[in-house]
Chain A
Amino acid sequence: MANAAGAHHDEHHDHYPSFFSRWFCSTNHKDIGTVYMFVAMFAAIIGGGMSWYIRLELAEPGIQFIQDKQFYNVLLTAHGFLMIFFVVMPGTIGGFGNWFVPMMIGAPDMAFPRMNNISLWLLVVALLMLLISAFVEGGVGTGWTVYPPLSNSIYHPSPAVDFGILSLHLAGASSILGAINFIVTIFNMRAPGMTLHKMPLFVWSILVTAFLLVLALPVLAGGLTMLLTDRNFGTHFFDPAGGGDPILWQHLFWFFGHPEVYIIILPAFGIISQIVSTFSKKPVFGYLGMAYAMAAIGVVGFVVWAHHMYAVGLDVDTRAYFTAATMVIAVPTGVKIFSWLATMWGGSIEFKTPMLYAFGFIFLFVVGGVTGVTLANSSADLVFHDTYFVVAHFHYVMAIAAIFAMFAGWYYWIGKMSGKQYSEIWGKIQFWIFFIGVNVLFFPQHFAGLAGMPRRIPDYPDAFAGWNYVSSIGALITAVGTLLFFVILIRTYASGAKAEQNPWGVGATTLEWQVPSPAPFHTFEDQPDMSGKAPAE
């Protein structure tokens, strides 16, 4: 086989640069991917820590721990920013994307390796900027949606919000550069014979995600710039006093914000497709349908944004349109769910940890999808708007689902990335603790929300006490599961068994399993010839 020979050839020039050049000046897609993943884990500890502190406060009615309400707002704003921009995006796109997109298409590296390095370090600076903002007079207590007038200088006069805006600008620039890099790589650097319709679904998911980033993030950047000039230079884009309109911000924000949730979940779809296929030992059912379902989700995702703003006073026809358009998204997502099930159907399923996480992902995504269809109804949403029902919905459908996909991907690929295999039994224990934890944590929030508990408030009436207590216990279980993950991670690196080239057997057909574990510093410098081979899903 051409690629096995190529991999063997690669091992000859595996001389690594010195520590500083290797990790700080890296242009190697694998090393950059590794740093991205550690940045994501670092941010996850901080962002997760904030959410556990929030749940600690919410465990009982009344104010126990967080006396300063602005500090509560700062916590949940930072939790949102960290988890979206600094955990899930660097984890799935920056981490797994960088590691496996070039390998899966048989490319030697990304198209622009030095631009890749800029993307990484812009993100690190953005993260520092966001953390600094928390220590500047009062912090950013605007919610991750940064709605004016709350984010205007009247209510947030300190430079904290300006730091936050700058942080998002940098994170946005980082993501745009990364996205351009991915698109160019996928379009121009594929191995001979690796046609678009033969690419693994993970590569497809990153391709669609990169297009969403290129189209959506500049709109956020534009909106944030207007907000910045409104705050500091006397413009009135969102200030009615000068003829502006705060609702315009909501339109701009959600024109970015809705595609953003697909940016978070599409790479997760890709990871889950690889894993379900591998552990069912079957190619993915309906490969083309799966690829184009992701493209369809991406396209429709741009024309449904106002379903986040049903409460602003849209007229009835507009709401009818956004309700219908939103529900249309259930069709391609349904195609994905049923294709995963059909892939498993009749397959020789092996319940290794990544597969358990894939099952968990599908379960969580379906629960969140069902509440999503409920919320899509504009008339019903007027009641649900800004309640814990919405919190439960989006944590199920994108937040925890994306975290599950990241865990799934980590267990699936850690052997390839580190050369060490995790402990299967501890992986399974970690899955079950985490799975039970998040469900105990988020399922009761549906009930609290239906009963009318508003989000973003540190206190609540006694009537909501029961389910909030359960939810906080769930947060504790989740914390134990998270801690166990880091123990497994350290043990894997320190004393994990040596990983085989392909630990998963005949189901693992993609190109990364045809190079040794750990993957050599350089892979596929001689590109494999894929012509005449089946689609590598």
Chain B
Amino acid sequence: MANVRQKNAKTAVVLFSVVAGMIGLAFASVPLYRIFCQTTGLAGTPSIRSQAPEKATDIDFKVRFDANVNTELAWKFKPLQKEITLKLGEERLAFYEATNLSDKTITGSAVFNVTPLKIGQYFVKIDCFCFTEQALRPGETVQMPVSFYVDPAIYEDKNTRDVKTITLSYTFYPVKDEQKVSAVRPSATPGNKG
């Protein structure tokens, strides 16, 4: 009987570690999912690279711009151009404009995606205002640039060959953790917090 008991305890320990491992895996899935989306462009996650290709093609392509603001953020936010036509592989610069409508300095950060969702990996950002948090003083208006290109490989992928227009969309959210913001960017919140 003692023998069975020992064996039971051993099996139970193994099974409890499997349970612990699966809980760990559930939490590990958070960074893994992010990495997976970034590398595969899943769910319209654009790629980020440091440089456009040397030579652009002569194929025309359209990019449209969309802007949204979360209701908790008292900002006006709009693209300065509705759409542009560019060549595949050509690096372009586009601007968005944000105005702080409140009488407080507010920090916001933008999340972004592109549609159709399947072309995420072919829309490449070189630099973007959305990579950092943006602090606007009361009534301040700023123009914010994004530079990008569309990877010509989009024409070599049979799943994305039909796409002629990409929509780039941003949504600005207030940065909730004020303390963290002032720690990271002390100049962004000059004294009139809250």
Could you tell me which A residues sit within 8 Å of B by CB distance? 111-112, 176, 179-180, 183-184, 187-189, 214-219, 221-223, 226, 234, 237, 240-243, 245, 247-248, 251-252, 312-317
Size class of B's contact patch?
20 to 34
Let me know if A218 and B43 touch, CB within 8 A.
no
Q: Are B173 and A241 in contact (CB under 8 A)?
A: yes
A-B contact pairs, 14 of them (CB 8 A): A180-B15, A180-B19, A183-B15, A184-B8, A184-B11, A184-B15, A188-B4, A189-B4, A218-B25, A234-B177, A237-B30, A251-B33, A315-B159, A316-B118
Ranked nearest first, the 10 interchain pairs of A and B with the lowest CB-CB distance are A222-B26, A218-B22, A241-B173, A218-B23, A313-B117, A180-B15, A219-B26, A315-B118, A111-B8, A184-B11
Q: Are B16 and A180 in contact (CB under 8 A)?
A: yes
Which residues on the B side are within 8 Å of A180 (C-beta)? Answer: 12, 15-16, 19
B173 proximity list for chain A (CB < 8 A): 240-242
Q: When chains A and B are docked, how far (Å) is the Cα of A315 from the Cα of B120?
A: 11
Taking a contact as CB atoms under 8 Å apart, the answer to whether B43 and A245 are in contact is yes
For chain B, residues 1 to 39, give those with C-beta under 8 angstroms from any C-beta of chain A: 4, 7-8, 11-12, 15-16, 18-23, 25-27, 29-30, 33, 37
User: Which residues of A have CB within 8 Å of B26?
Assistant: 218-219, 221-223, 252
B7 engages A188 (CB within 8 Å): yes
Task: State the CA gap A179–B18 with chains docked (Å).
Answer: 12
Complex: chain A residue closest to B26, CB-CB = A222
Closest B residue to A180 by CB, please name it.
B15
Are A219 and B25 neighbours in the complex by a CB distance under 8 Å?
yes
A29 CA to B194 CA in the complex, in Å?
Answer: 60
A214: B residues at CB distance < 8 A: 15, 18-19, 22
CA distance A247 to B118 in the complex (A): 15
CB distance from A533 to the nearest CB of B (A): 22
| Contact between chains at B43 and A313 (CB < 8 Å) | yes
| B42 interfacial by beta-carbon distance below 8 Å | yes
Contact indicator B176/A317 (Cβ below 8 Å): no
Within 8 Å of chain A (Cβ to Cβ): is B174?
Answer: yes
Asked if residues A183 and B11 are in contact (CB atoms below 8 Å), the reply is: yes
Interface residues of B in 143-194 (CB under 8 A from A): 159, 171, 173-174, 176-177
- Distance of A221 from chain B, by nearest CB (Å): 6
What is the chain A residue whose CB lies nearest that of B3?
A188
Check: B102 CB closer than 8 A to any chain A CB: no
Decide: A313 and B11 in contact? CB cutoff 8 A.
Answer: no
Question: Shortest CB–CB separation between residue B59 and chain A, in angstroms?
Answer: 22
A219 touches B22 (CB 8 A): yes
Q: Are the C-beta atoms of B11 and A188 separated by less than 8 Å?
A: yes
Instruction: Collect the chain B residues with CB atoms within 8 Å of residue A242's CB.
Output: 173, 176
Chain B 33-64 residues near chain A, CB threshold 8 A: 33, 37, 42-44
The answer for the CA separation of A317 and B176 in the assembled complex, in Å, is 38
Tell me if B70 counts as interface (CB < 8 A to partner A).
Answer: yes
CB distance from A113 to the nearest CB of B (A): 11
Q: Taking CB as reference atom, which chain B residue is nearest A316?
A: B159
Any A CB within 8 A of the CB of B84: no
Q: Residue on A with the closest CB to B15?
A: A180
Q: Among B8, B21, B23, which residue has its beta carbon within 8 angstroms of that of A112?
A: B8
A314 CA to B159 CA, complexed, in Å:
12
What 5 additional pairs, Cβ within 8 angstroms, besides A187-B11, A252-B26?
A111-B8, A112-B8, A188-B7, A221-B23, A315-B118
Q: Which residues of A contact B44 (CB under 8 A)?
A: 313
Could you tell me if B12 and A112 are in contact, using CB atoms closer than 8 angstroms?
yes
* A240 and B11 contacting across the interface, CB-CB below 8 Å: no
- Please encode chain B, from 110 to 130, with 1 for each CB lying within 8 Å of some chain A CB and 0 for all others: 010000011000000000000
Distance, CA A312 to CA B118, complexed state (A): 12
Contacts of B23 in A (CB 8 A): 218-219, 221-222
Determine the distance from Cα of A243 to Cα of B34 in the docked complex, in whole angstroms. Answer: 9
| Residues on the B chain within 8 Å of A243, using CB | 111
Given contacts A176-B19, A313-B44, contact A184 B70 (CB under 8 A): no
Bound CA span A148–B23, Å: 20
Residues in A whose Cβ lies below 8 Å from that of B171: 240
Cβ–Cβ < 8 Å partners of A241 in chain B: 70, 111, 173-174, 176
- B35 CB → nearest A CB, Å: 12
A312 to B43 alpha-carbon distance, docked (Å)? 8
| CB–CB A184/B22 < 8 A | no
With a cutoff of 8 Å between Cβ atoms, the chain A residues found around residue B21 in the complex are: 218
What residues of B have a CB within 8 angstroms of the CB of A189 in the complex? 4, 8
B8 x A251 contact (CB < 8 A): no
- Chain A residues, CB < 8 A from B176: 234, 241-242
Q: Which residue of B lies closest to A189 (CB)?
A: B4
Q: A247 CA to B30 CA in the complex, in Å?
A: 11
Instruction: For the complex formed, measure the closest distance between the CB of A217 and the CB atoms of chain B, giving whole angstroms.
Output: 8
In the complex, the chain A residue whose C-beta lies closest to that of B119 is A315
Query: Are A188 and B8 within 8 A (Cβ)?
Result: yes
Pick the contact of A315: B7, B22, B33, B117 (CB < 8 A): B117
Q: Are B7's CB and A215's CB within 8 A?
A: no
Shortest Cβ distance from residue B183 to the other chain A in the assembled complex, whole angstroms = 16
| Nearest-Cβ distance from residue B81 to partner chain A, whole angstroms | 25
For A216, the chain B residues whose CB sits under 8 A away are: 22
Nearest B residue to A235, CB-CB: B30
How many Å lie between the Cα of A189 and that of B20 in the bound state? 25
What is the chain B residue whose CB lies nearest that of A240?
B111
User: Is there an interface contact between B33 and A245, defined as CB atoms closer than 8 Å?
Assistant: yes
